[in-house]
Amino acid sequence: MKKIQLLFLFTILYAAQAVGQKLNESPLRKLQMAEFAISRLYVDSVNETKLVEDAIVGMLEHLDPHSTYSNPDAEEVKKMNEPLQGNFEGIGVQFQMIEDTLLVIQPVSGGPSEKVGILAGDRITAVDDTVIAGVKMSTEDIMKRLRGPKDTRVKLTVVRRGVTDPLQFDVIRDKIPLFSLDASYMIDDRIGYIRVNRFAATTAEEFSKALKELQQQGMKDLILDLQGNGGGYLNAAIDLANEFLEQKELIVYTEGRASRRAEFAAKGNGSFREGRLVVLVDEYSASASEIVTGAVQDWDRGVVVGRRTFGKGLVQRPIDLPDGSMIRLTIARYYTPSGRCIQKPYNGKGDDMQEAYAKDLLNRFDHGELMHADSIHFPDSLKYRTLRLGRTVYGGGGIMPDFFVPIDTTLYTDWHRQLVAKGIIIKATTGYIEQHREELKKKYKTFHVFNDKFEIDDAFMADIRLAADKEKIKFDEEQYNRALPLVRTQLKALIARDLWDMSEYYQVMNATNESVQQALKVLREGKYLF
């Protein structure tokens, strides 16, 4: 018995020794010893905080493109989350910097600026006692002065066209909503259109409201525009997909090495479970956009139009560190209901991985994928079947559309790109509206009248050419003629946005948007698949 007890004791001691040895040899212990040695013995003084931060960044660089570190600056973390939280605190204006002057494009409806009488076209020249006009102050610095905690007061100096002396306004800051819906309107008596720019805290509520309003106007078919939508909150994507799917139909699942499979299914209480649905996507549609699109496609619930999506299917968990910094660590992958992994491949490490990842879209362009559907090839190993009709779909990165729409490069020229880059189109629009706002409002009582009757005339285009010449943009007649339809559409759309809102802007722009036009063909010409 004593021999057994002694043997047991020796076993425990040996195990303890082995554990201690393993701990001493662990990567964590190695890192601690290295940091201790550097901080205590290095020839010069060192910043221990930066050493640790650099070590964390170095570790994350070897993982994937979306695992990131944010420094302890609370403002940085706040700025990362602000667009998704649905609001910020400030004065509530949409603005554009024109020649070192802040021009109010539109005060937010019901916001603090509108309440005190600030109007579209006003120029804010000073904030409290600080002049912001004509001093080449950065947009970020100006925003810092305009934003501030709710219920705080800020004094604005405003120059208004037709008023000789500057005006003074005391504005009490408030919470300003950030909307995730850019537009919602009826294209015709039957087809509605909703554009979602991000998946934020308020997206589901905004979408539900817009959906009901369109249904009250007689909407039977819906075009959901997710072009350029880079994603956002998972819950927002689930709530949006729920509007289209039946009870217990899987929307997405996540799974990782240390993260057990988690499934998210529809509740069956959505408001658009019947009716034809077309989802528009492009190479910039990512993450939450791909979750919604993948669920719609896998259940044969709707038709996808556009180009292959970005391919961002990694799940990040925020991990708060004691000093206020944060790691966003990838813990799982997203999978569509049929089992497709959304994430596109990534290889390498550090800057090389990030550079290759960032160049993926450029590579797609170079390979012809954005212009020709037949340039995209998937191996049979990536073949999947939709869950109702058994149609072939592919995994391996992004969501392939059912109807491919090539990117239109015919209208885009170097001359046009320089116009945009130097702000000429924006400046011309704002200047035109400043001069003609009242005239336009009297002549075009409704947007529909404006859309039908208003045209960008030759005199307006002559002003554009003159402004381009002043900016030393070399005129090219062939490029000018190619770009002319696009420039005219953009100018008209910007004027519509200023006079009304973003929905009207998109109504103008969508008349030339090839994906929207393809969606209309699908719905109107009997091409809908189901």
pLDDT at 139: 78
Specify the CATH number for the domain of residue 163.
Answer: 2.30.42.10
Q: What is the pTM of this model?
A: 0.81
- Decide if 282 is inside a domain: yes
Same domain, 201 and 296: yes
Instruction: Select the more confidently predicted residue: 204 or 72.
Output: 204
Summarize the confidence of residues 42-67 as an average pLDDT. 89
Residue 376 sits in the same domain as residue 263: yes
Per the domain annotation, does 252 fall within a domain? yes
As a whole number of angstroms, the distance between CA 125 and CA 159 comes to 7
Residue 442's pLDDT is 93
Contact 478, 434 (CB under 8 A): no
Question: Do residues 228 and 300 touch, judged by C-beta distance below 8 A?
Answer: no
Q: Are residues 351 and 291 in the same domain?
A: yes
Q: Is the dihedral of CA 502, 507, 508, 511 positive or negative?
A: positive
Q: Examine residue 107 and state whether it is found in any structural domain, yes or no.
A: yes
Residues 161 and 195 in one domain: no
Tokens of 195: 């554009």
* Residue 129 in this model has a pLDDT that exceeds 70: yes
Query: Where among 360, 390, 407 does a domain terminate?
Result: 407
Q: pLDDT at residue 37 above 80?
A: yes
pLDDT reading at 163 higher than 90: no
Three-class secondary structure of residue 466 per DSSP:
helix
The larger pLDDT score, comparing residue 330 to residue 426, is at 330
Instruction: Answer yes or no: do 230 and 303 share one domain.
Output: yes
Residue 68 maps to a domain: no
Residues catalogued as catalytic: 287, 298, 312
**Exposed/middle/buried for residue 526 (C-beta within 10 Å: 0-12, 13-18, 19+):** exposed
Q: Environment class of residue 219 by beta-carbon count within 10 Å: exposed (0-12), middle (13-18) or buried (19+)?
A: buried
Per-residue pLDDT, 31: 85
Evaluate if residue 11 carries a pLDDT over 80.
no
Task: Work out how many domains the chain is built from and give that number.
Answer: 4
pLDDT at 88: 76
| Average pLDDT of span 63-74 | 80
Q: Are strands 68-70 and 181-186 parallel, antiparallel or unpaired?
A: unpaired
**Cβ within 8 Å of residue 333, ≥6 positions away:** 254, 255, 256, 313, 314, 315, 341, 342, 343
CA separation for the pair 87, 346 (Å, rounded): 34
- Domain boundary at 385, 407, 429, which? 407
C-beta atoms surrounding 224 within 10 Å: 28
Q: Is residue 300 part of a domain?
A: yes
Q: In terms of domains, do 301 and 450 share one?
A: no
Highest mean pLDDT among 149-163, 299-313, 411-425, 426-440: 299-313
Question: Shortest CA distance to 409 belongs to which of 371, 361, 369, 359?
Answer: 371
Considering the domain boundaries, does residue 9 fall inside one?
no
Residue 522 inside a domain? The answer is no
Spatial CB neighbours of 161, under 8 Å, sequence gap ≥ 6: 121, 434
Average pLDDT, the chain: 87
Question: Does 331 lie in the same domain as 212?
Answer: yes
Strand partners for 318:
328
Are residues 302 and 289 located together in one domain of the fold? yes
Is residue 102 classed as helix, strand or coil in its secondary structure? strand
454, 389: one domain? no
Q: Provide the CB-side half-sphere exposure for 157 (13 A, CA).
A: 12
Backbone Cα Rg of the chain:
28
Query: Pick from 120, 154, 177: which residue ends a domain?
Result: 177
Q: What percent of the chain has pLDDT over 70?
A: 91
- CB burial of residue 128 (10 Å; 0-12, 13-18, 19+): exposed
Judgement on whether residues 368 and 424 belong to the same structural domain of the protein: no
Report yes or no: 142 and 131 within 8 Å, Cβ to Cβ. Answer: no
Across 87-96, average pLDDT: 80
DSSP 262: E
In a domain, 333, yes or no: yes
Cβ atoms of 334 and 313 within 8 Å: the answer is yes
Q: What is the mean pLDDT of residues 143-169?
A: 87
Instruction: With beta carbons less than 8 A apart as the criterion, state whether 208 and 271 touch.
Output: yes
Q: Which residues contact 413 (CB under 8 A, 6 or more apart)?
A: 476, 479, 480, 482, 483
Q: 401-420: b or e for each residue (b if 16 or more CB lie within 10 Å)?
A: bbbbbebeeeeebebbebbe
Alpha-carbon distance of 203 to 181, in angstroms, equals 7
Helix (H, G, I), strand (E, B) or coil at 176: strand
Least confident of 74-78, 219-223, 342-346: 74-78
Domain co-membership, 192 together with 170: no
Judged against a pLDDT cut of 50, whether residue 425 lies above it is answered with yes
Same domain? 329 vs 446: no
Of the two residues 432 and 250, the one the predictor is more confident about is 250
What is the SS3 string spanning 198-210? Answer: CECCCHHHHHHHH
Alpha-carbon distances of 359 from 58, 333, 363, 365, 398, rounded to whole Å: 21, 22, 6, 10, 15
Percent of the chain scoring above 90 in pLDDT: 46
pLDDT at 62: 86
Residue appearing with tokens 């070192």: 100
Structural domain span for residue 37? 20-60
- Give the closest residue to 486 by CA, choosing from 520, 511, 516: 511
Q: Is the pLDDT of residue 30 over 90?
A: no
Q: Retrieve residue 429's tokens.
A: 């629009």
